[in-house]
Amino acid sequence: MPATRITLEESELPRQWYNILPDLPKPLAPVLHPATRQPITPDDLAPLFPMGLIMQEVSTDRWIDIPDEVRDAYRLWRPTPLHRALRLEKYLQTPARIYYKYEGVSPVGSHKPNTAVAQAYYNKQAGIRRLATETGAGQWGSALAMACRLFGLECTVYMVKVSYHQKPYRRLLMEAYGAAVYASPSEHTRAGRQVLAEHPDSPGSLGIAISEAVEDAATHADTNYSLGSVLNHVLLHQTVIGLEAKLQMEKAGDYPDVIIGSCGGGSNLAGLSYPFLQDKLAGRRPDLRVVAVEPEACPTLTRGQYRYDFGDTVGLTPLVKMYTLGHTFVPAGIHAGGLRYHGDAPSLCLLYDEKIIEAVAYHQNPVFEAAVTFARTEGIVAAPESAHAIKAAIDEALRAREEGRSRVILFNLSGHGNFDLQAYDDYLHGRLVDTEYSQAEVDRALAALPPLA
């Protein structure tokens, strides 16, 4: 019988991160200064980030060494296991072989600490005292709160208001690590007060929370900003997932035909897929498919436009070219809070625009149906974000059954749902509402985009 769990020794923990930028089919569009609309320089980013991360952001080196201190922190939970979903395969009666990389074994239950500990380390090295950030469902906020505690930094988190109330235990986890957590939009920043003046009942958005965190960092000399997705250095740090998975798949004697990941900003999908995409971009695996999965309530890749846009709502951040629904977009309060972002990572967007990767969007009821099926076969209650990948993996397995063809499916189970049981309660008792972002709302938000190509 095939192994159900493929593990690595601690000595096999990657020693370098993989940087996809030199392997992209063409260079990324330049990042533009929000005021001058000219390409930004490292000095422009210095008020927000330490130079160590700024250099990683623009690096064209294919491999970047992981500092020993970061690898020591990784050892708290890495290497993470790769599982063969034999029980799910049997239930689906599929000839497909389904594997999942399980990142829920980290202390905070998700993939987010892979970059959080790296960012905390580089900020500590630069003499920074405090980090400010945003979070949706709380997975990123709790990861940074833990990382700041590991490296002796203070942490302030602006949590999207709807998630702040939906997920009190994630807020409590952040506070247990010592972080200060505010419901965003808040009264603590000018950006938050501006939103509340116009929309007193605003449920918040990641764009708004980013505005607050960036303002906080920019107005305090001892504070830097930290972001859990989208930026190049964040996706770089996450490639430890895929690098481990490649070695584990080799040990299993398999290689994926399709790689699947949920996609909000792109960090967990890129983290798993980029080391494999290196093979595709080099021509070694031309038929490899990579699928980004997003919610119909926030269909960034599937219905957005490839344009320059701000990363935040107020317009404090640089302009990046990405698939976007518009920085004024405020999503419905679906339970997958980590997927409720108006844009995506520029490198991921370029790959999608070049048709190297694919994207699909689902409503949340079929996503939770898939999640319950997974829980009842594999025993893990997945985070709502990760459940999107489960839904796509099940669909791929069912297509394999219909076609009578085997295929190898690999997806990232990016976090557990132990703090998301209210979402499961709503699904199991028929209270979950499917919300689709209407075309009129799409058009209205896109009309507010900056007048750039």
CB 392 within 8 A of CB 260: yes
Question: Could you tell me the two tokens for 219?
Answer: 């107005």
User: What pairing do the DSSP bridges indicate for beta strands 82-84 and 154-160?
Assistant: unpaired
The domain 5-10+68-109+233-446 having CATH identifier 3.40.50.1100: the answer here is yes
**Amino acid, res. 236:** L
> Which two three-digit tokens encode residue 82?
């790769």
Ranges of each domain in the chain: 5-10+68-109+233-446
**How many CB atoms lie under 10 A from the CB of residue 399?**
14
pTM (predicted TM-score): 0.94
Tell me the β-bridge partners of 202. none
**Per-residue pLDDT in tens (0 to 9) along the chain, 453 residues:** 677 999 999 999 999 999 999 999 999 999 999 889 999 999 899 989 999 999 999 999 999 999 999 999 999 999 999 999 999 999 999 999 999 999 999 999 999 999 999 999 999 999 999 999 999 878 899 999 999 999 999 999 999 998 898 888 999 999 999 999 999 999 999 999 999 999 999 988 888 898 899 999 999 999 999 999 899 999 999 999 999 999 999 999 999 999 999 999 999 999 999 999 999 999 999 999 999 999 998 899 999 999 999 888 777 788 999 999 988 877 666 655 567 678 899 999 999 999 999 999 999 999 999 999 999 999 999 999 999 999 999 999 999 999 999 999 999 999 999 988 988 999 999 998 887 767 787 788 788 787 765
Task: Say if CB 81 and CB 105 are below 8 A apart.
Answer: yes
- DSSP per-residue letters across 346-362: HHHHHHHHTTSSEEEEE
